[in-house]
Chains A and B, each alone.
Chain A
Amino acid sequence: MTAASRTDGPSGPKPGLKGTASRSSILADRAATVAMWGTGVLVLLILGAIIAHFAIAAWGVVSPSFLVSDPSETALGGILPVLWNSIYILVLTMLIAVPIGILGGIYMSEYAGENAITNVIRLAEESISSVPSIVVGLFGLILFVDDFHWGFSALGGSLALTFFNLPLMTRLAEQALRAVPQEERTASLALGATKWQTIRHVVLPLSIPGLITGIILTAGRVFGEAAVLLFTAGLGTPPHYDFTNFDLTNPASPWSPFRAATTLSVYIYKLNSEGLGAFKNQIIDGSAAILISIVLIFNLGARFLGRVLSRRLTST
């Protein structure tokens, strides 16, 4: 029975039973119903106001040239290098986090028994999720910046982000795999397939829609994160990037993982705390609008792709 059919009717007692509930309790019920609807409306209003606010604030700031120019002290400038760094770090992080997360999810969904080791893994998962992002960033600072002598680097930032988001990716992968009906596994095993063949050829393909949704949701979180990157990937103003320089060992190359890489969110934070330029507010408004748009695209994309893929996969 769905919630809708359960709750659509009048909230008070049935007409013939009027005597059982007192007048005041019916009034309280009405008031509570209004209040609960109010919370739902409030959330939508706040979200609508935020989107409208940034749409207005970014009007006249965000343009194609805003996306493809270098930052400037004296003019409006653009956000090309920081946007590039955000995408670069996102891709690098996902390249590391997605395979480990999916493999870990496979263990948690297909192999893990009710035992002490599983319990410890779950405890670790919950612990990392609850550690403040700034502390994860500080951990990256000691490990990568100081101990490994990498300095501020895109790779160090990506690894710190991987640490922070691995529990989320693992849990979403586990959920996606658990959603595959048990009968599919039984049928495959009954045909003589080994456990791994079953996972590889039956469970994984069936869980692709859920996995894609999980990947995109994780990506959304990685893209906006700033506190983890502040002290691992750096917060300086990026130089002009020469995109034809493909020398990965050269720190001046925008393709190199061993270079400081200020991302869009870190750039907003930096501009706010130390930026004195005349265009500071416009640049932050424009950057924030870009961040929110990308988050919106990720969210809607996750829903859309998940739906399309599951329809396609279940119909064949």
Chain B
Amino acid sequence: MAQLTGAYPVAGLRARPGLRERIDLPKRVVFAAAASMIFIVALLLAFIAWQGIQLFVKDGVPVGQIFSATWQPDSTSPNVTFGLLPFMAATVLVTAGALLISTPLSVGLALFLSEVAPQWARAIVQPALEIFVGIPSVVWGWLGITVLVPFLGQTFHDDIVLSLPVVGTVLTIPGFLTGFSWLAGSLVLSIMIVPTITSVSFDAFRAVPQELRTGSLALGTTRWQTIRHVLLPSALSGVLTAVVLGMTRAAGEALAVQMVIGNSPTMPAAITQPVTTLTSQITLDMGNTVFGEPWQDALWTMSLVLLIISITSVVLVRLINRRRMGA
């Protein structure tokens, strides 16, 4: 139904609108409230971008240096190098690990809620997911420290050797030193992003017209065949959006990750070893550095990188959904 936008129910009912109607103060006020978000974003982009380029502008660090693998920010060290590659690599890898674990689980859960679960099961699982969303990240981090990290450290302390009968040893993964590791970070994040991926995929599955399901089932397919060959392809863009949103959340999460990944500013070597992400390094160092010193400027550059990642994901989501609209 068309939205009624005019202030007057019938045109011509009143010859001339009064001054108050012409100014329409309420409309201006509510517009200002909504538009304040544009203002906030613009301000945030400007401030972070300005601070983020100081490392290059003020401190004269060549842009290429941030892609070096050496992180030696202390001005007293002989080779001061602001290589951000270890942090960027760790952010990508920890996030990728979380997505690999979380996506099948979350999409399965979304399918369960949308296609399989009877009313009563949905009435239990959906509120449970909402509580998941509400659990603060420091609590996830603490659970990681007290439950997950000791478990990993004690259970897989020895080297993990993967060998085949004829070929011999295929892969050796060093055992956990303490349990603080890339894997611990990915596992904690994978649980934290389940609600995001699930709820967005759920909406995508719900949006698939009922006729497609009925049509497929009428051809004699099983429910799983319908899901695989009809539902998943039709909802693909929605599921992709869900994964991108989960990725954004994982890449930006700071405290829970910082608490469990061990914080070693070196290139990620193995899934069992400690790493440091962009967010965790910022969290750790921001309080120990002085405003304006190159070390802190490098932290601002890291937050600019994070900002670029999140803006890219917003654009990505828009592109995914535009393709759907066009198709």
Contacts and interface: CB of A to CB of B under 8 A. Distances in A.
A110 to B, nearest CB: 8
B222 A28 contact: yes
Contacts of A99: 33
Interface of B: 1, 3-9, 13, 21, 24, 26-27, 29-38, 40-41, 43-44, 47-48, 51, 105, 108-109, 111-119, 121-122, 124-125, 127-139, 141-143, 145-147, 191, 194, 210, 213, 219-225, 227, 245, 248, 251-255, 259, 279, 282-283, 286-287, 291, 300, 303, 306-307, 310-311, 313-314, 317-318
Given A132-B310, A298-B134, A108 B254 contact: no
Contact of A29 (B6, B225, B282): B225
Contacts of B21: 194
Contacts of B115: 3, 7, 36
B116 to A, nearest CB: 5
A230 B138 contact: no
Interface of A: 1-4, 6-8, 11-13, 17, 20-21, 25-26, 28-29, 31-33, 35-40, 42-44, 46-47, 50, 53, 57, 99-101, 103-108, 110-113, 117, 120-121, 123-128, 130-136, 138-139, 141-143, 146, 163, 166-167, 170, 182, 185-186, 189-192, 194-196, 199-200, 217, 220-221, 223-227, 230-231, 235, 265-266, 268-269, 272-273, 281, 284-285, 288, 291-292, 295-296, 298-299, 303
Nearest to A200: B26
B248 A167 contact: no
A134 B282 contact: yes
13 contacts: A6-B213, A20-B220, A40-B109, A104-B36, A111-B30, A134-B279, A139-B48, A189-B4, A225-B136, A226-B255, A265-B138, A272-B145, A291-B139
B300 to A, nearest CB: 7
Nearest to B304: A135
Contact of B130 (A126, A227, A268, A299): A299
Nearest to B2: A182
Contacts of A303: 127
Contact of B134 (A31, A189, A295): A295
Contacts of B138: 224, 226, 265-266, 268-269, 272, 288, 291
Contact of A220 (B27, B40, B48, B134): B134
Main secondary structure of the interface of A (DSSP, over half): helix
A224 B145 CA distance: 18
B135 A295 contact: yes
A70 B280 CA distance: 30
A128 B145 CA distance: 30
B44 A108 contact: no
A224 B139 contact: yes
Given A40-B112, A100-B36, A113 B283 contact: no
Nearest to A36: B112
A34 B317 CA distance: 32
A170 B34 contact: yes
A6 B210 CA distance: 10
A21 B26 CA distance: 62
B287 A299 contact: no
Contact of B131 (A117, A167, A299): A299
Contacts of A110: 30
Contact of B254 (A6, A42, A133): A133
Contacts of B254: 132-134, 227
B282 A138 contact: yes
Contact of A53 (B5, B43, B127, B147): B147
A253 B278 CA distance: 37
A100 B36 CA distance: 9
A111 B35 CA distance: 13
B212 to A, nearest CB: 13
Contacts of B8: 194
Nearest to B147: A53
Contacts of A3: 114-115, 117, 119, 122
B134 A227 contact: no
A224 B253 CA distance: 14
Nearest to A192: B9
A127 B314 CA distance: 6
Contacts of B220: 13, 17, 20-21
Contact of A227 (B7, B44, B283, B317): B283
